[in-house]
Amino acid sequence: MTPTALIFDLDGVITDTAEYHYQAWQRLADEEGLPFDRAANENCRGISRRESLLVVLGGRPATEEQMQTMMARKQGYYEESLDQIGPDDLLPGVAGLLDALDAAGIPYALASASKNARPVCERLGIAGRLAALADGYSVERQKPHPDLFRFAAAGLGVAAANCLVVEDAAAGVEAALAAGMPALALGPADRFGGLLADGRVTRRDDLRDVTLDELAAAAAFDPGWHVVQSGFDPATQHHMETIFTLGNGAFATRGTFEEGYPGESALTLAHGVWDDMPIVFTELVNLPNWLRLTITIDGDDFRLDQGRVLDFQRYTDLRAGVLRRAVLWQAPNGKTVDLHFERFIAYPRRHVAAIRLLVTAVSHPCAVVVRAAIDGHVANQDLLHLNLEEQGKSGDTVWLRARTRHTQRALAVAAALSAETSADNGTERAADLCAGQPALLATADLKPGQTLQLDKLVAITTDRDPPAGHAPATGEAPASWPAPWPK
């Protein structure tokens, strides 16, 4: 799969300003008598000026005023080196690659945490060739948060999932993965540690002699570890829900969409939680649907049977046990958003599951409302097995208790929601205790390029679990459960 677009980091990828940043920090550290060297500087790679200063300070206390002064001094030292930068300072391989991308009609953007990124690109003579530029002024949350790369993709007008990120920093590779993008990591393997085990990361020493075929390979899924669906086809929906089931041996959930889909078969089954009906057969009980996220974009509910699906990708990363889905969607009201979902059911903590959602405004500013619910109105093909007994809210968590109608098994589902945004005005939070569907809400007003990030953390327990205080140690199944894998 050839990437639709590339997003380049600047310092250490396009030009060697990473060295100038290091020298400026070293000068400041020497003047301040702070222990700092090249090895410590590795921790500054890719992160913001303020975060870098915290690394340089190494825990030494400083007032906000002192920090501002030190950042200004470092900036002054850095600016001294900027005068030396010119078109000859592109790192080896960069000029050839940009020419090849131009010739192939593949657009590229720059996404750097640096507030100096624009003047540096101008000095290098590449500013006019960039389809978008995201810098230290573009978003609040810097790498390793996904916001800067999502901002760049929105600027390109390309589905985030179709952008390949080129990075020299571990924090940048982490940010790319968090943004739902594959990454080409440049530099020694030990710089990236465990990130290289991710099937979406490819490493090279630098961009020398890189080919478009290599970029295509870096953007491709790993056929050994990724179960992939590219493009949305309603005709295969039921089948795909089965394929994208996740489970941990204690409970499992079919791969239905968080927002729902007409005719879907949403199903969560827990080991041993069955109901016995005199009129039919004994069966495992469909538990409350913990996936539910209702996402409203300026009044239009996100759903794939409405509006326009401009891009759709879904894959399970078998190595990590994570299901991801990326959708570029135009609402009936004409506004385009880029959504990225990640879901897992924890293996070491058998009661826990989580969903992360990123919503990025692409074409217009929009008000986004997300309702994260526990949906107790579930059945096994119209057969009700659950009596909903009680629901409520404690702190930032909503919960629902239920009992199977005939076997009288008790169970409870709880959900907590955290929300962060790159929008300057933050998010608003609320709860909605609608009967049988308790929910937490988060609202944000996003400008184009801004991202709302939501984490929904869920716990499911049943009376088959050990009593409180006898919880199994992390990674162990309780004695009453059979071994998760056949021996």
- Categorise residue 189: left if φ over 0, alpha if ψ from -120 to 50, beta otherwise: alpha
Minimal distance, residue 140 CB to ligand BG6, in Å:
14
Stretch that binds ligand BG6, among 10-18, 26-34, 252-260, 344-352 (CB under 6 A): 10-18
Nearer to Mg ion, 42 or 283 (CB): 42
Sequence-distant (6+) residues with CB within 8 A of 286 are: 266, 267, 268, 269, 378, 379, 380, 385, 386
Half-sphere exposure of residue 436: CA atoms within 13 angstroms, side-chain side: 9
Q: Is 390:402 a contact under the CB 8 Å cutoff?
A: no
Stretch that binds ligand BG6, among 100-108, 110-118, 244-252, 377-385 (CB under 6 A): 110-118
Which of 232, 229, 290, 220 lies closest to 258 in space, CA to CA? 290
Amino acid in the structure at residue 85:
I
Q: Is 88:95 a contact under the CB 8 Å cutoff?
A: no
Minimal distance, residue 157 CB to Mg ion, in Å:
24
When binding is defined by CB under 6 A, the residue of 11, 147, 174, 258 that contacts ligand BG6 is 11
3-state SS string over 138-187?
A: CCCCCCCCCHHHHHHHHHHCCCHHHEEEEECCHHHHHHHHHCCCCEEEEC
Q: What are residue 345's DSSP bridge partners? A: 353
When binding is defined by CB under 6 A, the residue of 5, 18, 358, 361 that contacts ligand BG6 is 18
Nearer to Mg ion, 201 or 372 (CB): 201
Tell me whether residue 9 is one of the annotated catalytic residues: yes
Binding partner of residue 114 among ligand BG6, Mg ion, none, CB cut-off 5 to 8 Å per kind: ligand BG6
Query: Among residues 9, 135, 198, 375, which one is catalytic?
Result: 9
169 binds Mg ion (CB under 5 A): yes
How many helices (H) does the chain have, and how many strands (E)?
A: 11, 25
3-state SS string over 417-466?
A: EEEEECCCCCEEEEEECCCCCCEEEEEEEECCCCEEEEEEEEEEEECCCC
248 binds ligand BG6 (CB under 6 A): no
Q: Other C-beta atoms within 10 Å of 385: how many? A: 24
Q: Is 346:353 a contact under the CB 8 Å cutoff?
A: yes
121 binds ligand BG6 (CB under 6 A): no
Dihedral in degrees, nearest 10, Cα atoms 127, 130, 132, 135: -40
Query: Among residues 11, 147, 317, 338, which one is catalytic?
Result: 11
Binding partner of residue 118 among Mg ion, ligand BG6, none, CB cut-off 5 to 8 Å per kind: none
Minimal distance, residue 46 CB to Mg ion, in Å:
5
CA distances from 63 to 43, 45, 273, 285 (A): 22, 24, 57, 58
Nearer to Mg ion, 148 or 458 (CB): 148
Which of 485, 477, 480 lies closest to 464 in space, CA to CA? 480
When binding is defined by CB under 6 A, the residue of 21, 145, 371, 401 that contacts ligand BG6 is 21
168 binds Mg ion (CB under 5 A): yes
113 binds ligand BG6 (CB under 6 A): yes
Q: Which residue has the tokens 């990361």?
A: 201
| Tokens encoding 19 | 């060295």
Nearer to ligand BG6, 7 or 284 (CB): 7
Tell me whether residue 205 is one of the annotated catalytic residues: no
When binding is defined by CB under 6 A, the residue of 52, 253, 316, 421 that contacts ligand BG6 is 52
Minimal distance, residue 41 CB to Mg ion, in Å:
12
9 binds Mg ion (CB under 5 A): yes
Minimal distance, residue 360 CB to ligand BG6, in Å:
21
Which residues inside 151-170 make contact with ligand BG6, applying CB under 6 A?
169
Minimal distance, residue 45 CB to ligand BG6, in Å:
5
When binding is defined by CB under 6 A, the residue of 6, 44, 337, 373 that contacts ligand BG6 is 44
Alpha-carbon distance 483 to 248, whole Å? 11
- The secondary element (H helix, E strand) that includes residue 202 is strand 201-204
Beta pairing class for 201-204 and 183-186: parallel
Stretch that binds Mg ion, among 43-51, 99-107, 157-165, 259-267 (CB under 5 A): 43-51
Nearer to Mg ion, 137 or 281 (CB): 137
Stretch that binds ligand BG6, among 41-49, 92-100, 297-305, 416-424 (CB under 6 A): 41-49
Nearer to ligand BG6, 76 or 272 (CB): 76
x-or-dash string of contact with Mg ion, 11-40, rule CB under 5 A: xx----------------------------
Enzyme catalytic residues: 9, 11
Query: Can you give the binding site for ligand BG6, defined by CB under 6 A?
Result: 10-11, 18, 21, 44-46, 48-49, 52, 112-116, 136, 169
Name the residues that contact Mg ion, by CB under 5 A.
Answer: 9, 11-12, 46, 168-169
